[in-house]
């Protein structure tokens, strides 16, 4: 197959000028190119996926559930399944995009690691959790209605067993306007270095404007502490992309 054809799964969604840029959605077009899109858009994505596997291997407890909320194509679920060595675990990946869920199910079917992975299509704001030792939200909370975030963190804290961990990765706002602007420039440079044009960067930014609503680290920290988490820490950050871990006290 020729290299630069649309069927090579390379993200070219915003490469042509669009009359009107529609709100970003996790549809078939996005799901088809998602691994390329996220690797070229999120600094440190591969390291974070690997780190989620390593952290979850430390915090997973026998006979509990592991959740991957907003699992997309299952990258975090698969990293955890590969790295966790515990018994009686069930990994549950949940996403409300039909396009993601069907492709994720195929990805999961192609692997056979220790713990079973179940993929469910649902809205994570409405699910009932089973007792969990690890809950992952890798760049998902930023797409959840801001008014629903506090309640979701409380539900997650309640679902965790003592000593359990939430691993939460987010694109964040930096506190100071000058620093925020400089770091956004660094992120755009990262995208340029990964082959995105000015038009692609600008159109994607417009598409995300109403659907991806960012919080500052302090807002995340306050929300997690208010939900009951006893320890909140950043374990990875590159530019305005960070991953936190929050532990439920024993």
Ligand X SMILES: C[S@@+](CC[C@H](N)C(=O)[O-])C[C@H]1O[C@@H](n2cnc3c(N)ncnc32)[C@H](O)[C@@H]1O
139 binds ligand PRE (CB under 6 A): yes
Q: State the residue number with the nearest CB to ligand PRE.
A: 41
| 38 in contact with ligand PRE (CB under 6 A) | yes
66 is in an annotated binding site: no
Q: How many residues bind ligand X (CB under 6 A)?
A: 20
User: Which tokens in the block code for residue 111?
Assistant: 């692997």
When asked if residue 13 is in the footprint of ligand PRE (CB under 6 A), the reply is: no
Scan residues 96-115 and list those touching ligand X (CB under 6 A): 96-97, 100
Of 113, 129, 143, 235, which lies in the binding site for ligand X, with binding defined by CB under 6 A? 143
- Which residue number, 38 or 91, has a Cβ lying nearer to ligand PRE? 38
Nearer to ligand PRE, 41 or 243 (CB): 41
Residue in 190, 168, 178 with CA at minimum distance from that of residue 239: 190
Interacting positions 32-51 with ligand X (CB under 6 A)? 38
95 contacts ligand X (rule: CB under 6 A): yes
Angle (deg, nearest 10), helices 98-109 and 75-83: 30
* Helix axes 98-109 and 28-41, enclosed angle (nearest 10): 70
Instruction: Please give the backbone phi and psi of residue 145, each rounded to the nearest 5 degrees, phi first.
Output: -45, 130
75 makes contact with ligand PRE (CB under 6 A):
no
224 binds ligand X (CB under 6 A): no
23 is in an annotated binding site: no
Query: If 0-12 CB within 10 Å is exposed, 13-18 middle and 19+ buried, where does residue 72 land?
Result: buried
Environment class of residue 198 by beta-carbon count within 10 Å: exposed (0-12), middle (13-18) or buried (19+)? exposed
Order of strands across the sheet that contains 132-138: 117-121, 90-95, 65-69, 132-138, 160-171, 241-247, 231-238
37 makes contact with ligand PRE (CB under 6 A): yes
123 labelled ligand-binding? yes
The tokens describing 31, both together, are 């799901």
Rounded Cα–Cα distance for residues 132 and 160 (Å) = 5
The residues that touch ligand PRE, with contacts defined as CB under 6 A, are: 37-38, 41-42, 139, 171, 204, 208, 212
| Residues making up the binding site for S-adenosyl-L-methionine | 45, 70-72, 95-96, 123-124, 138, 205
The residues that touch ligand X, with contacts defined as CB under 6 A, are: 26, 38, 70-72, 75-76, 94-97, 100, 123-125, 138-140, 143-144
């Amino acid at each position: 197959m020729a290299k630069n054809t649309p069927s090579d799964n390379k993200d070219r969604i915003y490469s042509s000028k669009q009359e009107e840029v529609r709100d970003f959605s996790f549809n078939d077009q996005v799901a088809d190119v998602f691994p390329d899109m996220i690797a070229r858009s999120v600094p440190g994505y591969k390291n974070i996926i690997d780190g989620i596997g390593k952290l979850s291997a430390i915090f997973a407890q026998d006979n509990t559930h592991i959740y991957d909320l907003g699992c997309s194509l299952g990258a975090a679920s698969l990293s955890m399944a590969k790295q966790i060595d515990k018994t009686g675990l069930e990994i549950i990946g949940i996403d409300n995009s039909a396009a993601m869920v069907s492709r994720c199910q195929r990805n999961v079917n192609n692997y056979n690691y220790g713990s079973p992975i179940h993929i469910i299509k649902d809205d994570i704001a409405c699910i009932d959790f089973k007792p969990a030792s690890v809950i992952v939200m890798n760049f998902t909370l930023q797409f959840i209605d801001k008014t629903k975030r506090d309640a979701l963190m409380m539900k997650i804290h309640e679902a965790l067993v003592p000593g359990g961990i939430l691993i939460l990765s987010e694109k964040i706002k930096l506190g100071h306007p000058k620093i925020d602007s400089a770091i956004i420039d660094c992120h755009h440079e990262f995208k340029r270095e990964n082959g995105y044009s000015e038009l692609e960067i600008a159109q994607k930014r417009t598409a995300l404007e109403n659907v991806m609503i960012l919080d500052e680290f302090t807002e995340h920290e306050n929300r997690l502490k208010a939900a009951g988490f006893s320890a909140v820490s950043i374990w990875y950050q590159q530019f305005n992309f960070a991953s936190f871990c929050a532990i439920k006290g024993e």
